[in-house]
Structures are given as structure tokens and as C-alpha cells.
Amino acid sequence: MDYQFREIEQKWQKYWADNQSFKAQANSDKPKYYVLDMFPYPSGAGLHVGHPLGYIASDIFARYKRLKGFNVLHPMGYDSFGLPAEQYAIQTGQHPAVTTETNINTYRRQLDQIGFSFDWSREVRTSDPAYYKWTQWIFMQLFNSWYNLETDKAEPISTLIHKFNEAGSADVKAACDEDTKTFLPTDWATFTEEEKQEELLKYRLTYLKESTVNWCPALGTVLANDEVKDGFSERGGFPVEQKKMMQWSMRITAYAERLLQGLDTIDWPEPMKEMQRNWIGKSVGASVKFAIDNSQLAIDGTENSKLRTENYIEVFTTRVDTIFGVSYLVLAPEHEWVAELTTPAQKEEVEAYIAQTKKKSELDRMADAKTVSGAFTGTYVVNPVSGERVQLWIADYVLAGYGTGAVMGVPSGDQRDWLFATHFGLPIIQILDSQKDIDQQADPTKEGKYINSGFINGMEYKEAVAFLNQWLEEQGVGKAKINYRQRDAIFGRQRYWGEPIPVYFKDGLPYLLKEEELPLLLPEIDKYLPTETGEPPLGRAEGWKYEGKYEYELSTMPGWAGSSWYWYRYMDAQNNGAFASKDAVDYWKDVDLYIGGSEHATGHLLYSRFWNKFLKDLGFVQEEEPFKKLINQGMIQGRSNFVYRLNCIEDGKIVQTRFVSKGLYEQWDKAANLQEQQNLLNKWDIPFKYSSLEFLAENNQLVQAGSLHVDVNIVENDRLNVQKFRASRPEYSDAVFIFEDGTTSSPTGGGQEGAYICGVEVEKMSKSKFNVVNPDVLIAQYGADTLRMYEMFLGPLEQSKPWNTNGIEGVFKFLRKFWRLFHNEAWEFTVSDAEPTKAELKSLHKIIKKVQDDIERFSFNTSVSSFMIAVNELTDLKCNKRAILQDLVVVLAPYAPHICEELWSLLGNKDLSTAQYPIFNPNYLVEDEFAYPISINGKMKMNLNLSLTLEAKEAEEAVLANEQVQGFLNGAAPKKIIFVKGKIVNIVV
RNA sequence: GCUGAAGUGGUGGAACUGGUAGACACGCAGGACUUAAAAUCCUGUGCCCUCAACAGGCGUGCGGGUUCGAUUCCCGCCUUCAGUACCA
């Protein structure tokens, strides 16, 4: 029989499901291997065409590892809480659980027909109460923990309470809020329960914190940064304002250093690690306090108690050694003290500057890096090392969110400060004797000895930094400090479709539910909108109170909650007594290979590492890092096709329309004047005549040329299917085409159709650009095995590329050719038991090695080519020998599992998933001759067969003795001969 | 601006450690089969010069360098894509 992919694929997909062929064993003598994909959000649009790319790669790897004798865990599930379902619910009133279920079913059907070897018995869904029970449980562990900087790990809150009881707060070294109290054990004993809870909250790893959010009053909801455009909501265009709100936060900053250090221990792409490093943003420096000289300021009248008691501005600097070169200080315009620190005389200027800053979007600020702007507050501050008074400015190059929102300006050492000082006429002080040309630009050198620098004069960089840090600390005006850019992560959404936070409030303080009360189920509500008073949707749930009287937390968890631990649930997905049993976690430990997109670099992948480290600190898991090896799959872009239309217009009415092929359109585009256009119209038999060929003449005639997106599904290899195009829309039913060769086709004309070539552009994949290709269509046409191999054939996995089905035919032909190896002319299955020849064995062992090497380095595209070469060779050798083909089936199986399983069974075997990968034997590849490329002065001229046993001297003689070589030398005497055994001979003349 | 990745025929791409650039596939052209088309099979296909063969020249974004030899290593520049934070 010919290759019947539909039948074969359905047959084996059913067999695998019925036999649970890919179920991972709970415990096994085999070594474990855990292959994980980033699970999808089940959107209504179905499986995105980019998704299968990574899934196919991981599936090949998983199948390969099974053949190599590993106990493989390869699961799949759904990140099923999320905004789109909620948005749909708001519009239709349909419960998000219902639409989510429908979408999941679509995904499952699509995944199944690609033939993935997932262990579906371990499927997880983040929106399933049996799953989110454990997400809530982890939240409770975080609430019940604090970060002890002495042991450098998270500990139960009870150890902190113990410390408070024994020694008070003085010796506690913790990652905590800034406003913790200092107290003695005797004080702690007198605290009321509320006071204790309030204090403990400042230490917990998840805690309530006032944060600024994008509040949209019209929508009654909080928006993410990317939902806000220029101060208006992206959806609807309503005004958005900054609003302070109590929000749950996660103290991820406690783990900043470990998150950074851990990167050196994992096998991830370097760009990915770099992104996380930059995100964490460690800088080593010092914090320094500049006293406010308030002799001319009426600060005493300020409401701001912090400002009144502190009366200094703290800056963070990475170059504390340049402190004697400070000639001004700058605050971010958004800094909370700006109003109080502005003198009446400067008030107008400062307010105008702030107003101007607010108008600029963040993008504007970035693009405009060269313009210098700022405003003087009128206030002076005192440099703690020199006692000098310097001016306090505000400027938008200082960001409120980083460090303390205040910067010291050192114009001689920092180019940005130099520009600022030059622009506003502030002094530029040289501080190192090696600084050059500082009247031209800043010189950030650390070389040389300090000058104009008081007590560090004459010192060098290292000495000065150490000395200053110590001095500042002794004087109580500063200290060495490490700063991280990363901030604590907000952990709450004012939305419905997410995990409820297992917390209730008593007297304004949060308390956890009891563990046995989990899961806290999402209550039913009438509408998925905020309440009239602006409470989150959960505020609508009637009678939803803890023990009937206490208010529950009304926000839900953010999208990343459920995905920050899911790989553990797969280890033991059905467990009701724990997020996963200790046995399961001890056995599977961590993910050996994780494949997914790089867009998750600073979100999911960072949060997951954070939770993993936390779970390890509490002894629930084994490994410090969850994902040992990570591979990024490239983004799949859309590849749009265009048709070109000429509209001939007379008196504002279209009198003729032609769709012209790409080449003709380009000719038209080049036509310089009406005469040339008229020539083309005549050439293409378009009945339209300009009454005048003068460009500027009064003319009510016009030929309008333009391009239109055309659905890529009716285009093959950039050639338009004209019939399908006419059928696609009523207004195209009588479309007239002019083909690439200039011939015309009209719907009534009939006859032979020429080639209509479409234009091409790479764009984002989207419905509106008609460039979305559904995997279902390709599977129906070519089968899953072809789709799998074609997606790999497209190019390196990690590279982004446009989706393009132009070459899929070649892969399909390959599979048919492969099938043919096992069949005779009449398509009858025929294999021989004859002894294989040397050439056949060589072909086989070449591919065994090649594929093995390729898979280990994730180069799937190159193995597809190699398979084609192997099958071409064996076809040429007319090889139908079992001894060769049986091993070839196993090698190809991870890529094209259905056809291989069928052939495997036709060969009389059972269950390809339990087969063994063939052992590579290098002896079959040993050659005794090699066709050496002979080059002269590095230019390849000819090949010459030489025995591989020849050493340099003999080879040189043999080469020079050759007549053809002498012909190329043309009498010239070789100066030197380079001989690389098995590689090349190069004659230098 | 900064960071990262990439630039090779008409197209996707290959060349793994500095050693025959363009494997494999698509497309295109020609041929076989067919009444015809589709499918299939065969041959050719980087560019230039040449009627053609032989031979030759040029060729991996651009300009230099190292080397017997560079797509690969070094320096400078250009373009595209992604990320981003004027980060003190």
C-alpha cells in the first residue's frame, strides 16, 4: 500500500492512548529524565502556530531519551487562569470556567493529532481547585516565613518570634520593611496581639504594602503598564491615574543575591542569563547622607514627619571615591520631598518643570537622552566629607524608582553629570591627577591619585573606597551598600479569574485560613465586574465571609502564581495530601530540559526560581535551581502575501480593475510618466486610454495602484490559486488577472491559467493580516509526521523565523520515499534478510551518529537533512534489508513516530517506545582512501585520491608526481606544501 | 543610548575544532510518461565572461588585518530583529 498517513496516524495515536505508552514510571531502575514545555494559556483562538515548534523539539528529545533507556517524564497541562477568559466573561456573562474548558478541549484535540508523547495522566490545570489548593498552600508558607540574613535562608516565622522573645529586635538580621521597630524582649511581651501581628507583617515573605497602581476610574479597575498608553487605557481610551493601594507583595528582593549567583550554576542561553542579571541589577557602592541646609527653608512647618526627623537626603553611588568632586545633588522630579524642599522663589520654576516632565512619556524621555533639563529647588545640601554647600536640583534623568531617587552630581567623572553641569554653569572639580581634558568631557578613570579631595588626597582608588566607607560609617553619615534594581513583586490582581488569596481580615490585619480549610474556592458572582464602590469583583459574592463574619481578601493572585511551581505538581499530580509526595520530589528532583520562549525571561522564569529556592529553604524540595537546562525556541513570525490591484478611474468611478502579478506591478511602479503607463496598459490589453498624456493636465482620469493582503492559505509557493481567490469573496468573483507572462484571465475565459505571483512581507502573525496558518490544515493535507519534520526542517530551533509552508512538499516526499524503501513496485511490504553490504552499513551508521550528535546539541534541522541523505543513498543502493531498515526506523522514530511505529510493527515488532537506540559502530565509517582537495595558494583546483595511510612526505611526492597537478603548477616551483592528513593539500608557489 | 542575537544563491538553510562555500529541500528551466492535466521520474541550476565545452574571474553585509588557507579568529563600520533601565 502507498503511504496512508491518515490511517496510520489515527491508528497509532489510539494505540498509544489505549496502552498509556508514555506513562512515566513512579520509580524505576532507569535513570530519570524530565523534559518540560512551558504550558500554554488555552486561548479561544486555538493552539498558536508557534507553540508546536517547541513542543515538537521537546517531544523528539523525550522520545529519544526513552530509546536511550531513560525513565522520561514528559507532561503537559494548562495555565488556565487569565485575563482573556475573564474579558470574554464580562462581555458574554459566560463563566470563565466554561470557556476555559471548551478551549482546553480544542487544545487537547490539536495536541493529540500532532502525536506528542505526553503522559496525560499527569495533566494539570492551574484553575482546578485541586491544583490551586496547593498554590494557596505555598502562599501560606510564604506568609508564615521570614528571611534570616544570618543563615541566608527563609525560616518559619516562629524562629523570628523566638528571637523577639529572647533578645528583642536588635540582633535580628532580616530582609524586611524599612520601618521596623527597635524593641527589647520586655517590650515585645507588652505588645498587644495586633501590635505583634503588625510588626511581624513587616518581616513576612508575603506582606501588605502600599503600592502605586494604574487606576482607571471609568473601568473601575487596575491596569498593567502595557495596558496604559500615554495616560489612557488601551481599551476604551479612558483616563488613568496613579493611585496608592494596599497590595500583597512578595519579598523576592530577599533572594536577589541567590538568584544572581544561581545563574552561574545552570545551563541556560547566555542572553537569557544576562537579561536576568540586568533585571536583578546589582551594583556595589555606598549610601551617603547629605544634610539639608535649611537655614533659608521653613521645613519646620512641614507635615512630613520623616523629613522633619531625618533632615538629610540619602544618595546611592557606585563611585564613593569621587565624593569630593560633587558639585550638586539631583532629586527625581517625582521624589516625595520636592515640594517641601523648594524655596518660595523657585516654586514656579520647579512646578513648571514637574508639569513638563509628566507630559513626557517614558519613551520620549529615553529617545531624548541628549537634551539636558532640570530645575534648581533653591535649597542647599551639605557634603558630609568636605562640609561644602552644594545646590539641590531636580531633573528627569533621575528615576524615583531606583536607589533612593537621589543622585550626587560629579561632573568631572560622569558624562551625564558633566553635560548637566556645563549646561547650568555648575562647577567641575578635578579629583584625580590622571583625569584628562575635563573641560571637554568627563573622564571616568579610576587611575591615578586623588587631588582636591581632602583627607583622601594622594590615595589610589581601592584604598580611597575602603577608607571612605569606613569613615562614613564611623561618622554615621553613610556606609558601603549593595543596591539591587529589582523590587519586590506585587502579588495581587483586582480580578475574578485567579486564585483566591487564603486570607481574611480581623481588625484591619490579615490572618491566614487554617490549612484544612483549603482550597478556598472562587465564589460565584453575578457579574465579572468591579463593585459600584470600586471593590474587586469578589466583593460581589454574597455572604462570602470567613466564619460568616470576617472579610476575605478580595483580590486574587496574579497570572504567575500558578506557573511558579507547576513542574512539581507533574511529579505527583493526583496527590491530595501534599503538593507532591516527598518520594516523588526526591526521585524526579528537577527539570532536566525546559523548552520555551525567551519572553518569559524576567517574569515566569525569575518567579519560578524564587519560589523554588523558598521551597528548598523550608525543606520541601531538593534542588536550589528548578530548571537545569533551558532552550529558547525562536518566535514564529507571520509571512504575508499580497495581490496588486490596478483601478482605472474615470470621473471618480472605477471603470476597469485588474489584478496584476508581482513582476508586472513592479514594472508599473517604475513607469515614470503617463506615456509609459499607457504603454503598459496597451501591452496588458487593458481597455483604458488617457485622454491626455500630460501629467499636470486637467484630467479626471487616474490609474490607482495598490496592494492588498491575501489569505496565505490560498497561496502556494507565492503563487495565487486564482479559483480560490475568486471564490473567497463575492466582490472578487469576476476578478480579472494578468499573469506574470502578461496573459489575461477572466472568470468566463476558461482555458489554461498562468502564474499569478504574490508579493511577500514578514509581519506579526495576525488574523487581520491573513497570514495565520492553522496546524490542523497542514495535518489534514500532509499528516502529523510531515508537520513535525517540516517544523524542524525550517531552521535552527532558537532562531526566530517567519512561518512559511513553501518547502513542506519536500518533507512529505521524503517520508514517502522512506516508506518506499520497505515496499516493492506494487507497494507490497517486502524486506530481505540478506547480509548488508559495506556501503549500506556505512549509510546507516553515519545517520546513527549524526542524529545522536544533533539531538544532543538541539540541532534538529540538520538531522532532517541527514535523514533525506540517508534515504537517498539507500534508495540508490536499492536496499531493503531488515538489518539496515530496522535500525533506521528506530533512529527516525522520535521525529516521525507514526510512520515508524507502523513500519516497526510491519517488521514484526511490538511497541517502538520500548525499543533501544542502535549502537554506533565507528568501524563502518573507516575509509582507506580520501579524495584530497588540492589547492594552490589556498584556491581549490582539483581532487586527488590518496591512501589515508600516507604521511606528509609520501603524500607530497604523490601530489607533485601527478600530471594534472603539474599542469596547474605550470612549471612554477612549489615553495611550500601544507599537508593536513585527511583534510587538505595546499601548494604555495 | 545600552545589552543580546543575526546578516551566506531566487527562497529556507548547511558547512560541528581555521581546511573542497552553497549539503539537503523549495522554486525555476528542460526532458520522460500522458490525448491532456495532476502525480511520478530523470537532467540542469551562485553570479559574470563565452555560441558552447574547456578554461578563467568574482563571490558568505561593508572596509581592513592575522594565516599557507577565513562564512569561521581580530579591529572598525553598516543594516535588521529582540530586550531594556538616562541605573547614579
Distance in angstroms (rounded) separating the CA atoms of residues A498 and A81 = 5
- Grid cell, residue A745, equals 484571465
CA(A759)–C1'(B53) in Å?
A: 39
Q: Which nucleotide is nearest to A988 (CA to C1')?
A: B68
- Grid cell, residue A822, equals 520497505
CA(A797)–C1'(B86) in Å?
A: 36
CA angle A664, A668, A671 (to 5 degrees): 140
Q: Which nucleotide is nearest to A931 (CA to C1')?
A: B20
Residues in chain A predicted with pLDDT less than 50, given as ranges, are: 363, 751
The answer to whether A544 touches A524, Cβ cutoff 8 Å, is no
CA(A19)–C1'(B82) in Å?
A: 43
Residues 6+ apart with CB under 8 A from A282: A256, A257, A260, A482, A483, A484, A485
Q: How many helices (H) and strands (E) does chain A have?
A: 31, 37
Distance in angstroms (rounded) separating the CA atoms of residues A239 and A950 = 82
The answer to whether A605 touches A252, Cβ cutoff 8 Å, is no
CA(A756)–C1'(B10) in Å?
A: 16
The answer to whether A594 touches A33, Cβ cutoff 8 Å, is no
Q: Which nucleotide is nearest to A402 (CA to C1')?
A: B87
Instruction: Please report the pLDDT score of residue A559 as a whole number.
Output: 85
Q: Which nucleotide is nearest to A864 (CA to C1')?
A: B24
Q: Which nucleotide is nearest to A806 (CA to C1')?
A: B26
* AA letter at A774: N
Residues 6+ apart with CB under 8 A from A289: A312, A313, A314, A384, A477, A478
- Grid cell, residue A643, equals 495581490
CA(A985)–C1'(B72) in Å?
A: 20
Distance in angstroms (rounded) separating the CA atoms of residues A47 and A29 = 36
The answer to whether A92 touches A37, Cβ cutoff 8 Å, is no
Q: Which nucleotide is nearest to A272 (CA to C1')?
A: B4
Please state the pTM of the whole predicted model: 0.88
Nucleotides, chain B, CB distance < 7 Å: 1, 3-6, 11-16, 19-21, 23-28, 40-41, 56-57, 68-70, 81-88
Say which residue the cell 458572582 belongs to. A525
CA(A64)–C1'(B40) in Å?
A: 34
Q: Which nucleotide is nearest to A936 (CA to C1')?
A: B68
CA(A866)–C1'(B61) in Å?
A: 30
Question: Half-sphere exposure of A577 toward its Cβ, with a 13 Å CA cutoff?
Answer: 4
Distance in angstroms (rounded) separating the CA atoms of residues A746 and A744 = 7
Instruction: Please report the pLDDT score of residue A177 as a whole number.
Output: 86
CB atoms within 10 A of CB A585: 20
CA(A366)–C1'(B84) in Å?
A: 10
DSSP secondary structure, A704-737, as one string: EEEEEEE-GGGEETTEE-HHHHHHH-GGGTT--E
Distance in angstroms (rounded) separating the CA atoms of residues A753 and A721 = 10
CA(A938)–C1'(B74) in Å?
A: 21
Minimum-distance residue to B26 (CA–C1'): A807
- Grid cell, residue A83, equals 485575563
* Strand residue runs (E) in A651-787: 653-660, 701-710, 715-716, 719-720, 737-738, 744-745, 759-763
Distance in angstroms (rounded) separating the CA atoms of residues A228 and A111 = 35
Residues 6+ apart with CB under 8 A from A280: A256, A259, A260, A484, A485, A486
H-type alpha helices, A26-148: 51-67, 83-92, 96-112, 129-143
- Among residues A855, A858, A921, A868, which one has the least CA distance to residue A894? A855
Question: Half-sphere exposure of A733 toward its Cβ, with a 13 Å CA cutoff?
Answer: 3
CA(A940)–C1'(B73) in Å?
A: 22
Range A457-463 contact pairs with CB under 8 angstroms and sequence separation of 24 or more: A461/A321
- Among residues A144, A160, A17, A44, which one has the least CA distance to residue A103? A44
Distance in angstroms (rounded) separating the CA atoms of residues A891 and A207 = 53
The answer to whether A502 touches A513, Cβ cutoff 8 Å, is yes
Minimum-distance residue to B67 (CA–C1'): A938
Distance in angstroms (rounded) separating the CA atoms of residues A32 and A590 = 10
CA(A752)–C1'(B35) in Å?
A: 16
Going A101 to A103 to A105 to A111, the CA torsion angle's sign is: negative
Distance in angstroms (rounded) separating the CA atoms of residues A745 and A751 = 8
Q: Which nucleotide is nearest to A859 (CA to C1')?
A: B16
Q: Which nucleotide is nearest to A718 (CA to C1')?
A: B27
- The torsion defined by the Cα of A940, A941, A947 and A950, in degrees rounded to 10, comes to -70
Instruction: Please report the pLDDT score of residue A308 as a whole number.
Output: 60
Question: Half-sphere exposure of A868 toward its Cβ, with a 13 Å CA cutoff?
Answer: 14
Q: Which nucleotide is nearest to A986 (CA to C1')?
A: B68
- Among residues A852, A845, A825, A830, which one has the least CA distance to residue A926? A845
Minimum-distance residue to B12 (CA–C1'): A794
Distance in angstroms (rounded) separating the CA atoms of residues A387 and A291 = 10
CA(A800)–C1'(B80) in Å?
A: 12
CA(A546)–C1'(B29) in Å?
A: 79
CA distances from A848 to A298, A596, A772 (A): 83, 27, 36
Instruction: Please report the pLDDT score of residue A813 as a whole number.
Output: 93
Instruction: Please report the pLDDT score of residue A966 as a whole number.
Output: 82
ipTM of the complex: 0.93
Q: Which nucleotide is nearest to A405 (CA to C1')?
A: B88
Minimum-distance residue to B70 (CA–C1'): A938
| Residue A624 DSSP label | S
CA(A942)–C1'(B51) in Å?
A: 27
Instruction: Please report the pLDDT score of residue A751 as a whole number.
Output: 47
Distance in angstroms (rounded) separating the CA atoms of residues A114 and A788 = 7
